[in-house]
Structure 1
Amino acid sequence: HTNSVSLSPAAWYPLGRIVGGTVYPGLMVTAGLIHYVLNLLHITVHIRDVCVFLAPVFSGLTSIATFLLTRELWNQGAGLLAACFIAIVPGYISRSVAGSFDNEGIAIFALQFTYYLWVKSVKTGSVFWAIGCCLSYFYMVSAWGGYVFIINLIPLHVFVLLLMQRYSRRVYIAYSTFYIVGLVLSMQIPFVGFQPIRTSEHMAAAGVFALLQAYAFLQYLKDRLTRQEFQTLFFLGVSLAAGAVFLTVIYLTYTGHIAPWSGRFYSLWDTGYAKIHIPIIASVSEHQPTTWVSFFFDLHILVCTFPAGLWFCIKNINDERVFVALYAISAVYFAGVMVRLMLTLTPVVCMLSAIAFSSVFEHYLGDDMKRESPPIEDSSDEDDKRNSGNLYDKAGKVRKHVSEQEKTEEGLGPNIKSIVTMLMLMLLMMFAVHCTWVTSNAYSSPSVVLASYNNDGSRNILDDFREAYYWLRQNTEEQARVMSWWDYGYQIAGMANRTTLVDNNTWNNSHIALVGKAMSSNESAAYEIMRALDVDYVLIIFGGVIGYSGDDINKFLWMVRIAEGEHPKEIRESDYFTPQGEFRVDKAGSPILLNCLMYKMSYYRFGEMQVRDVQLCVHLQTAPNWRPVPVTWTVD
């Protein structure tokens, strides 16, 4: 099985899939380029090793980019702390462990580096830094669909700067260059194409660009008009420009020239939209709302400290700190809506927490550092010496005696500094311990090999997925076509090397719905669908014997909902519930559920096994690694 050809016949059978038009190429191009360069330098490395270690290498680059960005926003000390935080924080390690060959592994580096170059271009007003920002943005577009976050956050930054009357020639040069060059570069990616000028997700950037040109033109007229004329023309011109941009976007959207917000992005604003209209998006566990436990699990103490960093930035506001404040606020909202977007929140949390810790350390350790340096004589000290007999200061208050001042500094002050410093260091130590524990226990196992723990602390390794795919590879024909739910498509193609009907590239909802319809129909109806699709084998995951909760029965309602969206006359979700509204898989369950293909395959001879193999089930207590042999159903 290979995805190197333009049309892959071994995926999405019988439709095939145009790989170049349905995937972001950045990840594969990066891995291929690294492999080519290393072999060009006569460093013999297998492409598999490059793929395995690509994410950890880029996580190191992400730490460097985070250091550079935080240094531009605050200072070098905060940058070093931010780099240390993002190097070990679980929220990012979850996508950057060895073997995680996924778009997010390289995308967060591109995200942070693009933001660094944007801040640099705003601070300097240099076309050089703006062009660098465009190139980094181009790489981000090639790598991940999250580039939409960039193309909306940077225009928002410019718009807020205009509202705050912080317009400058630097902002004009930076954004005009970024929008024009970045737009042209992003359209070179085949999967993106003309979306930057035809979809609503990109219209905010175009609107801000037009508004910025109008604003700059009015600023140009400022020196040529009187103050009263300029104020009248300015407010009128800006209002007309904003109104014209808004009405133009509405008109083009209404006439169909601009596509409306896609469901994937609309679900970020209306959290209940996907469950009703696009169940395939809502069915993914990564698209569920984030719980407070997840925030603490992935970020630990940084959850509590990053609002302090945000407060420090707002207190000492400037152009680039406006950007990080907008970044933080928007990322917090999106991470709360969707678990997957915790990844975009993690970098800004690390940066702002680093600013908070850095500011505290500077405040409580800065005086000691200054005291160690040689004292500098100034005029105020000479005045104090000359007027030592005066007991009143300039405000008329009683001046403290020198000995009292020394007692105050040597008494309570140093103790407070020591206590606060120790507390900060203890928090950082606890954070490091938590990150190490989470990484080793939650994020170090591959997704196809699961680990569980017994009451006595011993660990069981569940390797059924890999063994089942190996069984398929060894015991089925090379041209066999396997029907399964889309969750297992990539694994079957990559590990079993067999043709699949659907996979994790969920570009065709109707074809996935047809597979869902087959799973949720009775055997005779499902047989007709499978014969029409040339299915040879059906693969399902059933965890009833060992209590595995991630099996297909637990996902079954999502199959029904997705099928109902395309086939509402044949499939209705309510039919799979009892009259009391319960979803039951025992004898009291819905008759339609008990006769559907998924249920019949999952519980095939399940009762007989429980009755016949009582002694074997008891033996499970001493042999916890026992597992049933995978059963594959053949369609003749």
Structure 2
Amino acid sequence: MVWKRNYLRYLDDSTYLNRLKYCSWFLCSHFYLLLGYKARTLSILEYGRVIREYDPYFNLRATEYLYKNGIRKFFTWMDDKSWYPLGRPVGTTIYPGVQIATCTIKMFIDAVCKCYNFFMLYILGKDKWTIDTMSVNDVCCFVPIWAGLIGSIVTGLIAYECTITCNSEYTLLSYLKSRIKKGNKGSIHPSNKRNQEANAPSYNPAVECGIFAMGMMAMCPTNLMRSMGGGYDNESVVMPFMLTTFYFWIRSLRGNDDLSHSFSIHAGISFCATASCWGGYIFVSNLIALHTFILILMGRFTEKLRLSYSMFYVLGTYLATRISVVGYKPLQSLEQIFGVGVLLLCQLLHQFDNYDTQKNIGGNKRKKNQVRLLTIALLVGLFAVVSTSPIFTPLSPRIRSIFLKHQPTGNPLIDSVAEHHPADASVYFRFLQNLCIGSPLGIFYILENFGDVPCFLLVYTISAIFLSLKMVRLLILVGPVASILTGIAMGRIVCFFIFKIVDFSWIGMEEDEQVPIVPKTYSNDHGKKKKKQSREKIPNKSATGTFKSNHTSFILYLVALVAVITFNFLYLYNSIILGRTLTSPGIVERRMHEGQIVTVDDYREAYAWIKSGTPEDSRILAWYDLGFHISSMTDRRSFADGNTWNYEHVALLARILTSSEEEGYSLARHISDYILVSAGGSNDDLAKIPHIAQIANNVYPHICGKDIDCSGFRLSPSGRPSKLLQKSLLFKLHSNLLVEGVTINQAFFKEVFRSKFGRVRIYKIVDTDEESKAWVDDPRNRFCDAPGSWICRGQYPPALRKLLRNKISPQNDNFNHSTFSDGDDVSTEQVRNPQCMDSSTATEQRCASGELKQRPGEKDELMQEVTKESIAKISKKWEDTDHTTMMWNIITRGTVADLENALENVPLLAHVRSSDGRGPIWWAFEHQKHDMVQILKQHNVNYNQKDKDGLTPVDLLSLSQNIEWI
């Protein structure tokens, strides 16, 4: 038994065990990170350094512009290559953190390469050893990989912080029991009974939990989806910033550190980085505010909590408001006002505590609780009052749909996005795999080792699951917390089994073979040293029953440990298998063709032809999901891209594609030179045409008529097209010379390119309207927000606007049709007497009989000649009248034809002002009715006027921009 005695002496040697522990930490960490890196680079190894999908191409193009032109021009970039002819003010509508972070990395790599090449060339004279720097495209391909790994490391740090003893030293049940019986003020820290009864203090597996959580996150499918090589999306870059914000927040609440609240400054800075990258920063701020509020309700309000939250919120919100796309939304939007309420609550509770201390009434628990309840009631009442105030913007449609039962918005463009639909149980098991099993175990351990910091994990878990159930896109929020919970469970279970197995190694030793008891010190929780005996003597028992029982337990613990490790590797294997299905970048595919695997690269082939075979000022018309590709890869002007900020513009594109060949040509020749059609694969343009028709029909109701679903544009089960589909321009462009009897009119369109596998076809539009093109390119025809402003939007050419008279305007939150949705013009009688705007039969009869008469004074003032004096007189008169109500209805729910008809009858209506000092020009800017703004300008309406709050119409435009999550 000499070998066993030596083995046991090693087990009792703390130096040896520490070395073994550190080596295992090092090996496991590197194994998980290396495996995560390999899984994310599969796409690059197989397809090369290719950007994936659609949205990342816009981020790539914006990054290239920032790297080439600098930050000043980037923030004043009016992009005229997208959304032709309107353009897009990228500088104020983009989350710039993605581009800034990438360019910073690119410049760092450039500096390192220059230093390395200088050393090799001029110091060592090895010119063959010099290296080339990475291109912007290459950096953009690798940024998601690096971000995913950094996010995994920070996830491990969060698990570590939630597991260390000073943050998890009591149970939730014992805490609540003590609160009820003793009425303590949230300062108790009940110890764990098991530690008191144990012969030796328990080992805290914080590091192990952190390593396992890091490994789970590194291979979590929800994280892999957003961090594959080339997936240069906002979510992929924001994840490390978001998790860093969470880590610094819980680090500021560490129990045994009196100065830990200073880490909330780092949390505020990280929150600013999060807000600069992704619209989901709303979740981050509200989650931290909710955690603070719950701690207050649990009686855990302390000076540290107040300082931590106040420093985080004030600094983070201030920095976030410096970002153009965010602005003052954290202080003005209802979905973010909760943070302000929690901040005020913290300050009020602090003042009450100071008052109790000064008046020495701390023992009067009833009075103190009454004051606190009154404070909360006042804040709730204040929130209810301000929620109806016009100062605060209402909940956006997406936020509102989260808290209400999922209903279609009426906008097919948004409703069709699969990521906006609710999630079901199968999605969780598919994209979380074994984490669905490990997370409940992690919650159990959190409840058994509770504290202020572990409470954050419970709040995070409930919030993330609730949001992802409402919108499957937010499943990305569940991945980190599921990884943390599973990591905590695995870390505690594995450490428990390992120590049990080590303890059973002494079984069967003779008494004279046991290692002598040597008092030693152990380090628990990294720094707190206590004395313990290295090993107790085990009495010599010859009873075989006891030995067999212990031996059986040893085997059971060993089997359990192997089962947990198998669970870990099974999760890694399943994640790798799922990751293999995510390698295709979308724009390039590999398919079986004639028994061989071939690379289908039709789209990049078509884009290369456009870049080399068309003039630089060419305009390319294609369905909007290909717009990012066109503007980024061809450097040509695209009609629309994947952003949904202007629904009516996309509806015009849909109308062109679903109209007849003659009508589509008459519209397209004014705004494009070429038409690109996706003509192959399961998701080509023909497969999308029912959806395209629905979008067009929402603005141009003649497309489908009363058929809301546009079922007339579908293929029959046998593959035969319907009559409406056969007449559509898209069908003819798609099936030209491929389907018997389908040919395109050569007088309208001429096919100039077909890709190798027929996935893409490009047609040149014959006899384009050069006059309309020149009119759009003329800077004098662009509308600037203010004189000298860089935001100068283009306009539709006059020849096209004449063809777009009859349409409805669904560009509002609920996209409901208004009283003007039938396309009829406002009658002269309605303009002269706005009381007749009511469409009821009784009102029409009263108007016809003359019973409803014009109010005295209004008709005379508005019907006078248009002069500077009359305009000034009307503009100075601020009051709510029937005419202001009528104009508001026309601007917000009517059409351009309604406005033109009203001003043709009564031109001075353009200058009426309501009691708040606002008029038609304010409402047109606020609802982004660019065509109506132009009409009002033609009637000499001054858009630099101010209302009673000192806001100009341009200010309302900036306040009304509601940039959706990319």
Interval of TM-score (by shorter of Structure 1 and Structure 2): 0.7 to 0.9
Secondary structure of the corresponding residue to residue 678 of structure 2: coil
The alpha-carbon distance between structure 1 residues 601 and 289, as it changes in their structure 2 partners (threshold 3 A), is farther
Label 1:122 to 1:574 Cα distance change in 2 as closer, same or farther (>3 A): same
Moved more, 460-469 or 137-146: 460-469
Q: Letter of the 1:17 partner, please give it.
A: R
Correspondence list, 1:293-304, <5 A? 293-304=426-437
Partner of 1:617: none
- In the other structure, the counterpart of 1:628 is 758
1:540–1:602: 8 Å Cα contact kept in structure 2? yes
Amino acid at match of 1:81: F
Shift of 1:466: 1.4
2:361 maps to what in 1?
A: 226
Counterpart of 2:334? 200
C-alpha RMSD of the superposition: 3.2
Corresponding position of 1:396: none
1:351/1:505 CA distance change after superposition, 3 Å:
same
Distance 1:183 1:24 in 2: 16
**Structure whose alpha-carbon radius of gyration is higher:** 2
The 1:279–1:214 alpha-carbon spacing in structure 2 relative to 1, beyond 3 Å, is farther
The structure 2 residue matched to 1:51, chosen from 131, 140, 143, is: 140
Instruction: Tell me, yes or no, if structure 1 residue 426 matches structure 2 residue 559.
Output: no
In the alignment, residue 682 of structure 2 is paired with which amino acid?
S
Q: In structure 2, do the counterparts of structure 1 residues 105 and 578 end up closer, same or farther at CA, with 3 Å as the change threshold?
A: closer
Is 2:649 the partner of 1:540? no
| 2:399 paired with 1:310 | no
Q: Distance in 1 between matches of 2:239 and 2:441?
A: 24
Q: Secondary structure at the match of 1:107?
A: helix
Which residue number in structure 1 is paired with residue 622 of structure 2? Answer: 484
Quick check: 2:694–2:709 contact (8 Å CA) kept in 1?
A: no
* 2:351 aligned with 1:217: yes
User: How far apart are residue 259 of structure 1 and its match?
Assistant: 0.8
- Residue 435 of structure 1, CA deviation: 2.1
For the residue of structure 2 that corresponds to 1:355, the secondary structure is: helix
| Structure 2 counterpart of 1:78, one-letter code | C
Contact 2:677–2:734 (CA<8 Å) still a contact in 1? yes
1:169, CA displacement in angstroms?
1.7
Aligned pair partner of 1:25 in 81, 86, 96:
96
Residues 141, 230 of structure 2: 8 Å contact kept = yes
Residue type of the alignment partner of 1:561? Q
Offset at residue 155 of structure 1 (A): 0.7
Q: 1:405 to 1:584 in 2, by over 3 A?
A: same
Q: 1:606 aligns with which of 720, 732, 738?
A: 738
How many residues end up aligned between the 2 structures? 598
How big is each residue's C-alpha offset from its partner over 1:55-76, in whole Å with a ceiling of 9 and x where there is no partner? 1122221122112111101211
The answer to whether the 8 A contact 2:714-2:725 is kept is: no
Alpha-carbon distance between aligned partners in 1 of 2:434 and 2:719, rounded to the nearest angstrom: 48
Aligned partners of 1:134 and 1:184: how far apart in 2?
9
Equivalent residue number for residue 162 of structure 1: 296
Within 5 Å, give how 1:240-389 maps onto structure 2: 240-270=374-404, 272-273=406-407, 275-370=408-503
Name the amino acid aligned to 2:82: A
1:94 is matched with which residue: 210, 216, 225? 225
Could you tell me whether the CA contact under 8 Å between 2:608 and 2:634 is conserved in 1? yes
More helix by share: 1
2:253 counterpart SS class: helix
1-side partners of 2:642 and 2:665: how far apart?
24
Q: CA deviation at 1:498?
A: 1.4
Alignment of 1:461-476 (within 5 A): 461-476=599-614
For residues 168-211 of structure 1, give each alpha carbon's deviation from its aligned partner in whole angstroms, at most 9, with x where no partner exists: 22211111111111110110111111111111121111111122
Question: Is the CA contact 2:500–2:557 (under 8 Å) kept in the aligned structure 1?
Answer: no
* Deviation of the 1:127 alpha carbon: 3.8
How has the CA–CA distance of structure 1 residues 200 and 511 changed in structure 2, closer, same or farther, with 3 Å as cutoff? Answer: same
Looking at structure 2, the residues matched to 578 and 192 of structure 1 have their Cα atoms a distance apart, in angstroms, of 40
Contact residue 560 and residue 572 of structure 1 kept, 8 A? no
CA displacement at 1:480 relative to structure 2: 1.0
Distance in structure 1 (CA, Å) of the matches to 2:637 and 2:103: 25
For residues 578 and 486 of structure 1, the distance between their equivalents in structure 2, rounded to whole angstroms, comes to 21
The alpha carbon displacement at 1:460 in A equals: 4.0
Deviation at 1:518, TM superposition (A): 2.3
For the structure 1 residues 566 and 460, does the alpha-carbon distance in structure 2 shift closer, same or farther, using more than 3 Å as the test? same
Give the stretch that moved more between structures: 16-25 or 326-335. 326-335
Deviates more, 1:294-303 or 1:481-490: 294-303
* CA positional deviation for 1:576: 6.1
Match of 1:117 in 2: 248
Which of 417, 429, 443 is 2:582 aligned to? Answer: 443
Q: Does 1:596 align with 2:728?
A: yes
**Residues 435 and 486, structure 2, Cα contact 8 Å, conserved in 1:** yes
* CA distance in structure 2 between the aligned counterparts of 1:376 and 1:609, rounded to whole angstroms: 96
Indicate the SS of the match to 2:94.
coil
CA 1:109–1:375 in structure 2 vs 1: closer, same or farther (change >3 Å)?
Answer: farther
Tell me if 1:416 matches 2:556.
Answer: yes
Structure 2 counterpart of 1:259, one-letter code: T
Measured after TM superposition, the shift of residue 16 of structure 1 is 0.9
The equivalent residue for 1:38 is 109
Q: Deviations over 1:103-154 (max 9, x none)?
A: 1222111111111100001224634201011111111111111111101110
What is the aligned partner in structure 2 of residue 395 from structure 1?
none
TM-superposed deviation, 1:24: 0.6
Tell me the percent identity.
26
Q: How far is 1:587 from its partner?
A: 8.0
Q: Which amino acid aligns with 2:548?
A: K
Q: Does the 8 Å contact 2:693/2:710 carry over to 1?
A: no
Residue equivalent to 1:391 = none
Task: Write the mapping of 1:79-158 to structure 2, written as runs, cut at 5 A.
Answer: 79-123=210-254, 124=257, 126-158=260-292
In the alignment, the residues of structure 1 paired with residue 369 and residue 354 of structure 2 have an alpha-carbon distance, to the nearest angstrom, of 11
The CA deviation at 1:87 is: 1.7
Superposed CA offset, 1:572-614 (max 9, x none): 57266558x9764878655333322223322333323999xxx
C-alpha distance after superposition, 1:13-53 (max 9, x if no partner) = 11111111111101111111122223234253332322221
In the alignment, which residue of structure 2 is the partner of 1:499?
637
Instruction: Note the residue ranges of structure 1 that are not aligned, 5 or more in a row.
Output: 389-399, 612-624
In the alignment, the residues of structure 1 paired with residue 551 and residue 470 of structure 2 have an alpha-carbon distance, to the nearest angstrom, of: 50
Q: Which residue of 1 aligns with 2:660?
A: 522
Matched residue type, 1:603: S
Greater mean deviation of Cα atoms: 245-254 or 258-267:
245-254
What CA distance in whole angstroms lies between the structure 2 residues aligned with 1:366 and 1:573?
A: 72
In structure 1, the residue matched to 2:313 is 179
Find the residue that maps to 2:707 and give its secondary structure: helix
The 1:267/1:460 distance shift into structure 2, 3 A limit, reads farther
